[in-house]
Structure 1
Amino acid sequence: MPLFRRNKPSWEPDWQTFPGRVPASADRPEADAMLHADLAAVAAAPVAELPVRLTVRVAFGATRPDGSPAAGAAHQLYVFEDKLAAEVAKRADGQYVGRVISDGECTFVFQLPAEPGELRLPAGPELPTGPAVPVQHAEADPDWSYVRAVFSKDPAAEQRSYNRPLVAALVARGDRVEVPRPIEHSAHFADQAGAGATGKELGALGYRVTASTDPEGGVTLTAVRAAPLTAIDEVSVQVQAVVLAHGGDYDGWGSDLVR
């Protein structure tokens, strides 16, 4: 280990877990992901002193339907994560930025001051299918392009994640999700201008829009249009995008049970 170490940039960590999307690559399509990242590091990106990206990928072998690790594997994965982050910090002076869980794999992401060579990776987590084998890869990424693309919050991905338990609850009560029914979306605006522009745009898309003003001058807007719950991701993201474009907050959607 060098006697003199360069000063590594520092910030107050802001670790958060949230849904997102992994961009398409040469060997896999774009996919939903569950992310855990230091958003303070993401906000500071790119950091000139840390121009090399290191990823360490572990395949679960056994997963839940959403691609997350099967029961019993998550704890082992987090133990491995702690050991890996400590090793990279000690041997390569690296900054741990976050992890990506998607499609049966977990990818741990670091930014380093230089190529790390072969690290002494800790033993892979002991999973129900046997010991996992970590795969290390490093490449120049002075712009932190991967970090900024993957770990920046994605409102559409978050909305899709919120939709799943809502639809599952209706299905558990016998809902016929393929049957179109009125779906009511709600949004709030600080002023009339944003609400008016949103109402006009959603009206042109076939929504029946109503609005009410609260005592503080804000506006609650509702938009109703029939659709099957099998299309709720596309529908809710469409409304959300219009609301956000005009400065509003999308509060979500509701639907009656259809048997």
Structure 2
Amino acid sequence: MQEYWELYMKNLEGKPSSIQFNAGISMDIDELQYSHPIVAFVKVKLKEPSEHGLIGEQEEPEILFMEDKLEASLIKFRIGKYVGRVISDGYVTFLFYVQFTYNWQDFLEFALEEFESYEISNGYQEDREWNYYKKLLYPTPKEWQLIQNHKVCDVLKAKEDNLHLARAIEHKLFFSNGDEKKDELVSKLDVKGFKIQSEIENEEGVKGLKFYRIDKPFYHDIDELTLYLIDLLEEYGASYDGWETSVVKS
């Protein structure tokens, strides 16, 4: 089973929230829904949250240590999978999917014996459809795009790119249900200042377009641009497929 983790921000009930989840587990979700039908949680009240209700720098090492202990305990008692955590409104909630619950209390005692100074609650319930994973932890297409945006920005920044400098940013799209509206879309992109580079086709034979415009790839700017393009392309039966650009140093 492949395991890799992603971290992103979202809004939950009007509160900024940090979501970390095991993205690799999604590849085996059909099997896991059958074998691990119970969602369980450990909810911890932060002692010193940041002004936005997230983890403060002073407290982060202890919460990460608690997370490690929970994972170690999960392995020791062989009851399930750790799938992610939510940090929001002054709380950290660790989420698991388990096979059974008869030794749930043993799991908790072993994991949390060193954290008596924290206010901690816990519980579990049946969730055969894995709705907590799919609808709370797993990102929407737009949230996935923001994750990818920030990864590209981080790579550019590591190469000493000045993200505030405008340059040609290349984008790709593919038509979801045929390209009947291609001419209309090309006209719309032209009005918005985009230039078509070429027609493209993916490995499955789906047709698309490569296009570009002069923009800044700074985090907030590229987020606003790509979210706009996702909505725009959807109107014309197309899906957005990411961006790339060259490194531009100061």
SS of the residue 1:187 aligns to: strand
Identity of aligned residues (%): 16
Deviation, structure 1 residue 114? 2.9
1:98 to 76, 84, 91: 84
Query: What is the letter of the counterpart of residue 172 of structure 2?
Result: H
SS at match of 1:48: helix
Q: Please, which runs of 5 or more residues in structure 1 have no aligned partner?
A: 1-11, 176-181, 254-259
The 8 Å contact of residues 69 and 112 in structure 2, kept in 1 or not, is answered as no
Q: Does 1:188 align with 2:178?
A: no
Cα deviation, 1:97-140, whole Å, max 9, x if unaligned, reads: 222233443221111123455331634887xxx94322212111
1:204: Cα distance to partner? Answer: 7.7
Contact 1:187 1:221 in 2 (8 A): yes
Task: Give the 3 Å change call, closer, same or farther, for CA 157–248 of structure 1 in structure 2.
Answer: closer
| Equivalent position amino acid for 1:14 in 2 | E
Mean Cα deviation higher: 100-109 or 216-225: 216-225
Instruction: After TM superposition, give the deviation of residue 200 of structure 1 in Å.
Output: 1.1
| Counterpart residue number, 1:19 | 8
Q: Which residue of 2 aligns with 1:59?
A: 45
Q: Is the 8 A contact 2:197 2:211 kept in 1?
A: yes
Residue in structure 2 matching 1:210, options 195, 200, 218? 195
Pair 1:154–1:30, CA change in 2 (3 A):
farther
Change (3 A) 1:52 1:213: same
2:210 counterpart residue number: 220
The CA distance in 2 between the partners of 1:112 and 1:125, in whole Å, is 23
**Given that residues 87 and 120 in structure 1 are in contact (C-alpha distance below 8 angstroms), is that contact kept between their aligned partners in structure 2?**
no
Q: What's the counterpart of residue 143 of structure 1?
A: 129
Maintained 8 Å contact 2:9/2:18: yes
- Counting only pairs closer than 5 Å after superposition, residues 62-141 of structure 1 correspond to structure 2 as 62-64=48-50, 67-91=53-77, 93-116=79-102, 118=105, 119-120=108-109, 122-123=111-112, 131-141=117-127
* TM-score normalized with structure 1 length: 0.62
1:197 lines up with 2:182 in the alignment: yes
- CA RMSD, Structure 1 to Structure 2 (Å): 4.6
Residue type at the aligned position of 1:18: L
What SS is found at the alignment partner of 1:188? strand
2:220 aligned with 1:236, yes or no?
Answer: no
Displacement after TM superposition at 1:151 (Å): 3.1
Give the helix-richer structure, 1 or 2. Answer: 2
**1:115–1:139 Cα contact (<8 Å) kept:** no
Partner-residue secondary structure (3-state), 1:208? coil
Query: Structure 2: where are the runs of 5+ without partners?
Result: 202-206, 246-250
Quote how far apart the aligned CAs of 1:41 are.
4.8
Aligned residues: 220
2:248 is matched with which residue? none
Residues 218 and 73 of structure 1: CA distance in aligned 2, closer, same or farther (over 3 Å): same
CA–CA distance in 1 between the matches of 2:121 and 2:228? 38
Task: For residue 71 of structure 1, report the CA deviation from its aligned partner.
Answer: 1.4
Opposite residue 98 of structure 2, the aligned amino acid is: L
